[in-house]
Amino acid sequence: MLSFRSASTADVAEIVRLVESAYRGDASRTGWTTEADLLDGQRTDADAVAEMLRQPDSTVLLADEDDGQLVGCCRLERRPGGEAYFGMFSVQPVRQGGGVGRQLLAEAERMARDDWAATTMVMTVIAQRAELIAWYERRGYRRTGETEPFPYGNDRYGIPRRPDLVFAVLAKPLAG
């Protein structure tokens, strides 16, 4: 059983550890969401997570096991026009493929729809992550045809290992 809660500043260090383990370095290769072949460096840091928690229209949703262990997280940001942004989606590498991500995504969609009256969830995914985009498509997300540039030159988001990274924009209507 998973329980869900909004993060507090006391959770920042644990969130950073989780996100880094899911996306960077050798530990991330245990799961299937690794970006280690695309990016070196960090995925996030304590300052960035703390800033997310300070923003009034933003929350970091946590998934805890019954024993209180953090196994997943994501960021939600309320945007104008009934839109919610979904990002920083992370699941412990050893727990990937077991339904944690599916449950966390469903809770994030429920929260955006029911608590914020959002009608659409949007996200950006590195376009070269075909298997991850396919996972989202199986959950009702579709490519919008829009892309966003990767922030080359800003090591805060990682150090690219290739010159062609770009974000694909995905969206899903949130039915009432």
State the residue range of the domain holding 76: 2-173
The token duo for 117 is 């009256």
- The 10s digit of each residue's pLDDT in 7-52 is 999 999 999 999 998 888 777 777 777 787 888 888 899 999 999 9
Q: Rounded to an integer, what distance in angstroms lies between the CA atom of residue 121 and that of residue 75? A: 12
What's 30's domain CATH number? 3.40.630.30
Q: CB–CB of 120/173 below 8 Å?
A: yes
Q: Rounded to an integer, what distance in angstroms lies between the CA atom of residue 75 and that of residue 4? A: 13
Count the domains in the chain: 1
From residue 112, give the alpha-carbon distance in Å to each of 11, 45, 154, 164.
21, 25, 30, 32
- The 10s digit of each residue's pLDDT in 94-153 is 898 899 999 999 999 999 999 999 999 999 999 999 999 999 999 999 999 999 999 998
Q: CB–CB of 45/156 below 8 Å?
A: yes
- Give pLDDT, residue 30: 78
The pTM for the full model equals 0.94
pLDDT surpasses 70 at 176: no
- The 10s digit of each residue's pLDDT in 48-100 is 999 999 999 999 999 999 899 999 999 999 999 999 999 999 999 989 889 99
- Give pLDDT, residue 27: 74
Residues sharing a CB contact under 8 Å with residue 153, sequence separation 6 or more, in sequence order = none
Residue among 160, 151, 165, 172 at smallest CA distance from 48: 151
